Structure 1
């Protein structure tokens, strides 16, 4: 026969609530941090002094936008603890402290309500557990979101006015070669020497990877103190107009105030170029030469109508001849190959598409071309790569001869062996 044992329910008044609090301040400013400290102390004292409450922690975030959940570790920790059933009740100052994104607020209060957890908003006097209050919470959230929109638009308007006047930002952080003293951009001499060396090495023919290797071999650290350099960082530095004393304003813009996502400005918004905005580290001539060299290595051709297209040639940071040898028939660069133990150079079009695509391009023996350059170009008749790099613009290869063109526009014609 079945027996049933009745277990009495625990009287509600005897159950203590595990109570947590959430705080957020917008910046790391002294006043904001003092406010945060006061809120933490106040909530801690409030919860611990209540006879029917158990302290479940005060969670907080600093300097994170109320529009975005990402990066707000304090809020995430609190919600994870709530999901584990370790919090019964949450106190917070206002809806806007939790989020200024209306949809995000709704997600949070519904997440908590599904678990029987109430969030009390002190300023509004609202409890999220009450379904009938959801509309009012939504309405208050929309007002907070609209306030953020207005703030964002006002900030953007202020930036535009500063840009139009040519006012530049002088609070640089981690910018190699410069620092800010009394709101003035000043050069850091030892860092400036590194920057000049990078520009010099690039014009000598070194690639980003080779410049990286040089800096690391010399024990030169990045502006943030790292021993390993990044090739993309080197490329960005060599393209940064600030090193010639100018500033391009509004290179990026915030596409959506809700997500805070930034987009590169390639013409969607006005840009403002401020000339001689601060002291230069490299001359305009050197900077412009680097940009021209970068375009050349990238295989870019500037056409008469102002457009730019790829020439199909790529810069070869390892072999100088790969950047000098050009097919006189199709215009492609030459590529280094090893055939039957012998190093030769061949037209890239012929290598990729066969002789039918470029039937008049000859194959050059590497030793012959170096010997030829040594006798015709270098001092003492011996091939010297640095001298060739600094002297020769390009070498055009035709069916029966090569045309060596100097950087001063002089050209010499040399017949190929046996032709």
Structure 2
């Protein structure tokens, strides 16, 4: 006959719980920050006054509840919990931890696997209980849907403002402008820097050359930095606000869950407000800069017929830098040095291969310059040539020069 001896479980050793609190507010407004301060003080007092608890800290974030990214204290708390430094967490509600249903589910399961309970005060729920998971998930879904409704209402409000022509007047770090009593006003010394940037670009300087000039003159950025960024200069040159106009809804939030903003290139309506505020540069100067930027843009035509930027940088010191255009695929020509000789070749052919644009010829730089100089019997400098010629189309056996003033075109046979 079998004998069975029952071995009783070892009773758990009594120990105090290491308890932490978690708080979160969405914005840094005065009312929200006061609420956060009260929550922190309340949890500190509650934990420290409990005889069976050990204070493990109060963690807090000022961030949206939809995204884990940016909530440094939540992540810090969970790391401490994983190391065994926290046994129990108190928080006001499910929505304070997260408004993302999937994320709240992942968090409570992460804690449960380690035997850690999170208590939600408003709902009076404990995450350690498996049978409460469905209720926690359901309440998380309601919090997420509430965020969606809030986002849609905010977007609707913006649309109504755009339709009425109401512009945003709380800009920070906006070179040339500041906001005073709800109005955009010019900052004179910064405006001079903006005008100089526009002027240098029209003189033929590249973004890199403008950057070098500003730094050599000790001119600081709007944030007080000594080093300028090419992208910052480019944004200034492309910003319609400098001619006194405003384009509304240049970007929009594609997904309220991720908060990701995307460029509006026609997916939604845009609103253009003329003379919305004082201009720093004239409309004529601004438009000339846009035309010049379009000329300098180097594009490559793909095999499927689409075009895209090739990434080549314009250099204002070359006469042909923004003049030569392939007559077959429409892309700009690029300067190269081969076996000690300077030549120009179709960008599509360089980027994709000869098969993408088989008829485009390679041009000798000196031959093109010589042809252009001979056009004017009295001689002319390269800077003046750029002012007189709008573009040069290149074909297999000839080039066509387009002149700005009278719209005349002249063909020259490629003979070298």
What is the TM-score normalised by the length of structure 1?
A: 0.82
The Cα of 1:45 is off from its aligned counterpart by 1.3
1:25 corresponds to: 25
Aligned pairs, how many? 401
Query: Paired residue for 1:206?
Result: 205
Q: 1:386 aligns to what?
A: 383
Name the residue aligned to 1:237: 236
Question: Aligned in 2, Cα 1:404/1:126: closer, same or farther, shift over 3 Å?
Answer: closer
Q: Distance in 1 between the 2:137 and 2:209 partners?
A: 57
- Aligned partners of 2:412, 2:126: CA distance in 1, in Å? 91
Q: Pairwise mapping of residues 5-16 of structure 1 onto structure 2 (< 5 A)?
A: 9=10, 12=13, 14-16=14-16
Match of 1:57 in 2: 57
Tell me if the contact between 1:350 and 1:358 (Cα under 8 Å) persists in the aligned partners.
Answer: no
Aligned residue number for residue 131 of structure 1:
130
Q: Name 1:408's counterpart in structure 2.
A: 405
Query: Secondary structure, in 3 states, of the residue corresponding to 2:266?
Result: coil
Inter-partner Cα distance in structure 2 for 1:340 and 1:137: 72
Q: 1:304 — aligned with what?
A: none
Structure 1 residue 385: deviation in Å? 4.0
| Correspondence 1:247-326 to 2 at 5 A | 247-298=246-297, 316-317=314-315, 318-325=317-324
Q: Does 1:76 align with 2:89?
A: no
Q: Distance in 2 between matches of 1:152 and 1:138?
A: 21
Please say which of residues 196-205 and 153-162 is displaced more in the overlay: 196-205
CA distance in 1, matches of 2:385, 2:320: 10
Structure 2 residues without counterparts, runs of 5 or longer: 1-6, 301-305
Q: CA RMSD in A?
A: 3.7
Report the Cα distance in structure 2 between the residues aligned to 1:113 and 1:346, rounded to whole angstroms.
65
Task: Show the counterpart of 1:3.
Answer: none
Rate the CA distance shift 1:313–1:180 in 2: closer, same or farther, 3 A: closer
Q: Structure 1 residues 247, 16: closer, same or farther in 2, change over 3 A?
A: same
| Superposed CA offset, 1:241-293 (max 9, x none) | 11111111111111221221222222221211111111111111111111122
SS, match of residue 47 in structure 2: helix
User: How far is 1:182 from its partner?
Assistant: 0.6
Check 1:24–1:199 CA distance in 2 against 1; reply closer, same or farther (3 A cut).
same
Alignment deviations for residues 67-89 of structure 1 (CA, whole Å, 9 cap, x no partner)? 11111001000000000011111
Contact 2:399 2:414 (8 Å CA) reproduced: no
1:218 CA displacement: 2.1
Q: Which ranges in structure 1 are unaligned for 5 or more consecutive residues?
A: 1-5, 302-307
* Inter-CA distance 145–316: structure 2 relative to 1 (3 Å threshold): closer
CA distance in 2, matches of 1:116, 1:93: 20
Q: Distance in 2 between matches of 1:164 and 1:343?
A: 54
> 1:325 touches 1:396 (CA, 8 Å); kept in 2?
yes
Determine helix, strand or coil for the equivalent of 2:190: helix
CA spacing shift, 1:387–1:136, aligned 2, 3 Å = same
Cross-structure match for 1:305: none
Deviations 1:126-155 (A, max 9, x none): 111111222221222222122112211111
Alignment pair present for 1:159 and 2:158: yes
Distance change (3 Å), C-alpha of 1:195 and 1:323:
same
Could you tell me whether the CA contact under 8 Å between 2:299 and 2:331 is conserved in 1? Answer: no
Per mean C-alpha deviation after superposition, the further-off stretch among 175-184 and 27-36 is: 27-36
Q: Distance in 1 between matches of 2:364 and 2:403?
A: 20
Distance apart, 1:390 and its partner CA: 3.4
**Shift of the alpha carbon at 1:47?**
0.8
TM-score, scaled relative to structure 2:
0.83
For residue 322 of structure 1, give the secondary structure of its aligned residue in structure 2. coil
Task: Give runs of aligned pairs for residues 147-226 of structure 1, distance below 5 A.
Answer: 147-226=146-225
Cα–Cα, structure 1 residues 212 and 378, in superposed 2: closer, same or farther, change >3 Å?
farther
Task: Name 1:39's counterpart in structure 2.
Answer: 39
What's the offset of the Cα at 1:220? 2.0
